[in-house]
Amino acid sequence: MAYLDTGVLAAYYCPQRLSNAVGRVLRDISTPTISPLVEMEMYSAVALKVRTRELDLSSAGVIISRFQVDMAGGLYGIVDIGPREFHLARNWLSRFSSPLRTLDALHLAAAFSNDLA
């Protein structure tokens, strides 16, 4: 199992230079795992690409549809982000020395809490 953050999935689903390389790596992971936060951020990443005209609406729809099919088909394991993960992320951020940002801390806490980090 390996926890994937949104940057990896955006590179996989959205056409770019690294898409093929990310696809090869994903095929080697027995259980790619994400959290509901990844799902939310994936929609945000695609919406940003539409707003910046990197993608047209039709392409964005195809990308989101592929992602939804993969989610529904059980391609990804899902780990929750609950009070434990929020507490852990908050503790890391409260040290005031970490370069982590809020959502990165939550991703890392989800991975850490599930022995994926």
pLDDT in tens, 5-23: 999 999 999 988 888 999 9
Average pLDDT over residues 68-94: 97
Q: Is 34 in the same domain as 62?
A: yes
Using the predicted structure, report yes or no on whether residue 96 has a pLDDT greater than 80. Answer: yes
Domain that holds residue 88: 80-117
Query: Residue range 73-84: average pLDDT?
Result: 96
Give the pLDDT mean for 103-117.
95
pLDDT at position 18: 84
Measured CA distances, 2 to 13, 17, 21, 47 (Å): 18, 22, 16, 26
| 0.75 surpassed by pTM | yes
Q: How far apart are CA 105 and CA 88, in angstroms?
A: 8
| Average pLDDT score over the chain | 95
Say yes or no to pLDDT of 90 above 80. Answer: yes
pLDDT of residue 32: 96
The partner residues of 72 in beta bridges, in order of sequence, read none
Q: Are residues 50 and 87 in the same domain?
A: no
The reply to whether 44 and 23 lie within a common domain is: yes
- Structural domain tally of the chain? 2
Q: 41 pLDDT band (50/70/90 cuts)?
A: very high
Q: Are residues 56 and 101 in the same domain?
A: no
Pair (71, 96) in one structural domain: no
For the stretch 55-62, contacts whose Cβ atoms lie closer than 8 Å and that sit 24 or more positions apart, written own/partner, are 55/14, 59/15
